[in-house]
Amino acid sequence: MGSRQPENTRSFALAAHGGAGKTTLAEAMLFCNGQISRMGKTEAGSTVSDFTSEEQKRQISIGASLLTLERGGKIFFALDAPGFADFTGEMSAAIRVADATLILVSAVGGVEVQTGRAWEYASENASPVAFYVSKMDRENADFAKVLTDVKEQFSPNALPVFLPIGAEASFKGVVDVLKGRAYTYAADGKFTEGEVPADMAEAAASAKEALIEAAVEMDDALMERYLDGEAVSGADLQRVLRAAIAKRRVMPVLTGSAALNVGVHQLLDFIADYFPSPLDRGPAEAVPDVSAPFSALCFKVMVDPYVGKLSFIRVYSGALSSEGSSIYNLKKGEEERISTFKLMTGKDGKDVKEIIAGDIAAIPKLQSTKVGHTLTVKGGASYLFPHIEFPLPVYSVAVVAKTRADEDKLGSAIAKTLEEDRSLTFEKNPETHDNVLSGMGDLHIDIVLAKMKERYGVDLDVKTPQVPYRETIKKTSEAQGKHKKQSGGHGQYGDVNIRYSPLERGAGFEFADKIVGGAIPKNYIPAVEKGLREYMEKGPLAGFPVVDFKAELFFGSYHEVDSSEMSFKLATRLSFKKGIMDAAPVLLEPIMNVEVIVPDQYMGDVMGDFNGRRGRIMGMEARGRLQVVKAQAPLAEMFRYAIILRSMTSGQGSFSMSASHYEEVPSDITKKIIAAHKQEEEEE
């Protein structure tokens, strides 16, 4: 099926902290490859990668953008992933499906928080990694310092294959230590190849020696010859170095300036020669062979205003033609017709009739396919690829439709938005009844709301979500509830005595029937339990669910004519309200596990801030010049933490958060919550 072969494919994710220059590098790659006639700029909203209106308006990458390049008989699939913490889910998905990760590190800013996140995602996916030290032309650029930091914080296997010629304003080219050649650039962007500058010869030779020593370990026979003093040929070195990179034994470090287009040609050539192909890595279940059964994973869904829904897939095995073909969604058990495949470069797609193992492509108008779904052909591959891990949301707002029309459209708009953005969640909280939209930060949520208004005409207000407090008791009490009403004809009579006692945290609710001697007939006892379960949803202290208690029905009385299930439910309500209030009721609040990653200099601020949030520091650990703070804090204190942390750390901090347990609310805060509840009741 066609002439392309997987061994000629290179796919890689461009990942970094925001502002390190990924999109500029992607633009320079397209320019060097002759696919664009001039380089766009992020600040002008003119780059190929950042093509959505929100990206152009905010001058940042929001979604992972696919770029397809053909160079020297090889095809490259580059995924330009966002670098801001609010869009880290896109980075995670891009690294998952690419065959390698090119992590950019600014020569000025050095290793930053999201640099570490990119490294973590690459490590979790066993992705081969190369580092690119960017912005060598900028003031205070320091290649040696960045190289030292990368080695210390990530891996001693980070070895330079390019060395910069000069730095800052005098930066003018790169030395390729493998080829032993220097590439010097003129002001017009053209370069000349020549000898390694004399003052760099020793450093270049040393760097090459380190690469050879690491690479020959991949071949025992070659290593023996090398140790015996035999020179390693260029072909042998390329073979073993490619293998070492694929196995993460070597992590090449390259450098340049994308803005000046210095060193980008050499970077592209290195990718072609040394980056892994689909044959070098991939799931054990999927053989990267065009003759194997077709299998692919959907890793991104995008709604294009002109084309409609685009499902981005990574093909892991086999080949598929679009002519008269269908694709089978193994997860859903559904088959869909396909008309074409698109090899995307930003928002533009080139229609092709065939895709093969290693390709990253988009399929228009698949209805049932969602992110994480495995695709094959009917009767083809039978295994499901592991789902893509997305980070848990850390910032939540309650959304309120502005008009009835907005409310009517909300469900459909949310469903489509969630399908496109898997780092979002939406739920109607059963305790507070808020419609809670959660994402990775306030910027993330702002963009989602803007997109929903632009695309679906849904206008939403936001407010801070209510905290799902709970109520419980600390002592044992007994309370009678007696409901007696006579108004002509049959009356109403129910009488219960219930003992309320605390249970351990998380135990829930327990009901015990301790009636003896028929004080209450058996047919009324279920009504007592049903009444308790109903009334415990809105506790007498502040209207929150009552949890972790045991109710024992131990005595009561009835009337042969006037008693009924309803009478006993009403009697239970009277007992419940008095019994809970007599049992030392307290409010409980959700406590969150929080992990904050910040540079050293912000540690004091972060720890002090947690003290002000009623938080507890549980532990700390160093990751190079970054610090990881593990803490616990009440959810009530964490709703705006994404904004606070960004401000406190100049955008260099990131955090993750998950539910831990419930704890008693301090008495002074409890009084405020009860007072607010009473005011709400009065207003209603």
User: What pLDDT, on a 0 to 100 scale, did the predictor assign at position 286?
Assistant: 83
User: What pLDDT, on a 0 to 100 scale, did the predictor assign at position 325?
Assistant: 86
Q: Which of these, 203, 193, 210, lies nearest to 144 by C-alpha position?
A: 203
Common-topology check for domains 395-463 and 588-668: yes
Residue 619 confidence (pLDDT) above 70:
yes
Helices (H), 353-491: 404-420, 442-456
Q: Which helix (H) or strand (E) holds 271?
A: helix 264-274
Instruction: Summarize pLDDT for 518-573 with one digit per residue, the tens.
Output: 999 999 999 999 999 999 999 999 999 999 999 999 999 999 889 999 999 999 99
Instruction: Report strand pairing: 158-160 vs 251-255.
Output: parallel
pLDDT category at 28 given cuts 50, 70, 90 is: very high
CATH superfamily of 6-173+251-280: P-loop containing nucleotide triphosphate hydrolases (3.40.50.300)
Instruction: Summarize pLDDT for 302-334 with one digit per residue, the tens.
Output: 987 677 889 999 999 999 998 878 999 998 999
Residue 186 confidence (pLDDT) above 90:
yes
**Average pLDDT, integer, range 653-657:** 88
Percent of the chain with pLDDT over 70: 98
Domain range list for the chain: 6-173+251-280, 295-376, 395-463, 475-583, 588-668
User: What pLDDT, on a 0 to 100 scale, did the predictor assign at position 273?
Assistant: 96
- Residue 82: CB partners within 8 Å, gap ≥ 6? 18, 60, 61, 62, 63, 64, 88, 90, 91
Q: Which of these, 597, 575, 587, lies nearest to 646 by C-alpha position?
A: 597
Q: Which helix (H) or strand (E) holds 256?
A: none
Q: Which of these, 656, 91, 63, lies nearest to 395 by C-alpha position?
A: 656
Residue 2 confidence (pLDDT) above 70:
no
* Rounded Cα gap, residues 573 and 16, in angstroms: 59
Q: In 10 A of CB 97, how many CB atoms? A: 26
Cβ atoms of 461 and 449 within 8 Å: the answer is no
User: What pLDDT, on a 0 to 100 scale, did the predictor assign at position 362?
Assistant: 97
Residue 632 confidence (pLDDT) above 50:
yes
Residue 167 confidence (pLDDT) above 70:
yes
Residue 109 confidence (pLDDT) above 60:
yes
Instruction: Summarize pLDDT for 270-305 with one digit per residue, the tens.
Output: 999 999 999 997 666 788 889 999 999 999 999 876
Cβ atoms of 564 and 522 within 8 Å: the answer is no
**Average pLDDT, integer, range 579-607:** 94
Residue 172 confidence (pLDDT) above 90:
yes
Instruction: Summarize pLDDT for 55-81 with one digit per residue, the tens.
Output: 888 888 999 999 999 998 999 999 999
* Rounded Cα gap, residues 162 and 157, in angstroms: 15
CA 629 to chain centre: 19
**Average pLDDT, integer, range 5-20:** 95
Residue scoring higher pLDDT (665 or 488)? 665
Cβ atoms of 423 and 444 within 8 Å: the answer is yes
CATH architecture of 588-668: 2-Layer Sandwich (3.30)
The mean pLDDT of the chain is 93
Residue 1 confidence (pLDDT) above 60:
no
**Average pLDDT, integer, range 355-368:** 94
Residue 683 confidence (pLDDT) above 80:
no
* Rounded Cα gap, residues 41 and 46, in angstroms: 5
Question: For 295-376, which CATH class?
Answer: mainly beta
Which two structure tokens, joined as six digits, stand for 521?
A: 């007939």
Instruction: Summarize pLDDT for 490-513 with one digit per residue, the tens.
Output: 789 999 999 999 999 999 999 999
List % helix, strand, coil for the chain (3-state, nearest 5): 30, 30, 35
Q: Which of these, 59, 67, 92, 49, lies nearest to 422 by C-alpha position?
A: 92
**Average pLDDT, integer, range 196-218:** 96
Which two structure tokens, joined as six digits, stand for 136?
A: 């060598």
pLDDT category at 391 given cuts 50, 70, 90 is: confident
Specify the fold of 395-463: Alpha-Beta Plaits (3.30.70)
Residue 637 confidence (pLDDT) above 60:
yes
Which two structure tokens, joined as six digits, stand for 60?
A: 């940042």
**Average pLDDT, integer, range 372-396:** 90
pTM given for the model: 0.85
Cβ atoms of 164 and 174 within 8 Å: the answer is yes
> Does domain 475-583 bear CATH number 3.30.230.10?
yes
Phi-psi bin for 66: left (phi > 0), alpha (psi -120 to 50), beta? Answer: beta
**Average pLDDT, integer, range 141-155:** 95
Which two structure tokens, joined as six digits, stand for 620?
A: 């700390």
